Amino acid sequence: MLAEKQAEEAIVSNFNETEHDGGGGGKEEEKVEEQPIFSVKSFLWHGGSAYDAWFSCASNQAEDVQHSGPKELVLYFTGATNILYTFGGHAVTVEIMHAMWKPQKFKYIYLGATLYVFTLTIPSASAVYWAFGDQLLNHSNAFSLLPKNAWRDAAVILMLIHQFITFGFACTPLYFVWEKVIGMHDTKSICLRALARLPVVIPIWFLAIIFPFFGPINSAVGALLVSFTVYIIPSLAHMLTYRKATSRRNAAEKPPFFLPSWTAMYAVNTFIVIWILVVGFGFGGWASVTNFVKQVDTFGLFAKCYQCKPPIAAHPPMVPPHH
């Protein structure tokens, strides 16, 4: 959950900016219409997230719960890839910055979003693990373990609304790329742009309702895709961009105060590339694919409830009399 919320908060904080994407710097472009601080959309998005997070803290502890944690290398490295995905921002951090009106603000907003998300994810994750323990190792859908009642159903509905809104935010960079490819990006008509985005929306929507894109699938995405798109490629690109002394002297942004030299910056980038390549892509890829194969029979196509317990029969089956 942290992975999604971290990136979503950053995207939401800049959504008004992304809708004014452009290459120029004219005066007309600088006049951005102010958006209201409160809206139904933001209330459902932030309010739903807060409700879901704190509702999960209200569960009682299950009987005979165990807290042994991962005992196999597969589970350990699967958790490691989930941490990579947590800080990977849906693997679209570069695209988000590209779509922003002022991309230099991204790092500050992303940091603030991360701190806010910690207040939602840390308490709920700790409470759910306390309540259900090792069951979570094989149940990526925590809602399936919570008692079925009206409060749980409300949390699920709010989560669905949350995902609909998030889909619009997270796909904004992809929308822009697609609109530029077909020559519709400068169209003023909202209806035409909405129609132009359908070829992007429909395939993604169809795949999303076929497969549960979280749990083992998220782990595989984190190991095989996020490792490169968020960590390895940006680090290598930074090193190649500033490999010449003239590029370093004319850099728009110098190394931070805690890395006082370019040598230290290169050392950090090199460590990130090697570490992520070995631990994230190598061991993490092996673990996530292995875990994916183990749980693939629990996915189900168009599943009504992913990894949920089968419904309990109201009456026990009748035993035929013996003759």
pLDDT classification of 308: cutoffs 50, 70, 90:
low
pLDDT classification of 109: cutoffs 50, 70, 90:
confident
Choose between 42 and 230: higher pLDDT. Answer: 230
Q: How far apart are CA 5 and CA 121, in angstroms?
A: 9
Kindly report the CA angle at 308 between 56 and 161, in degrees rounded to 5?
55
Residue ranges per structural domain of the chain: 2-21+38-170+211-249+256-298
Q: And the tokens for 92?
A: 């679209």
Alpha helices in 104-148 (DSSP H): 106-132
Angle between helices 150-170 and 40-55 (to 10 degrees): 130
pLDDT classification of 87: cutoffs 50, 70, 90:
low
**Pair 122, 56: CB distance under 8 Å:** no
pLDDT of residue 2: 44
Kindly report the CA angle at 21 between 43 and 36, in degrees rounded to 5?
30
Choose between 93 and 29: higher pLDDT. Answer: 93
pLDDT of residue 245: 92
Q: And the tokens for 263?
A: 């040598």
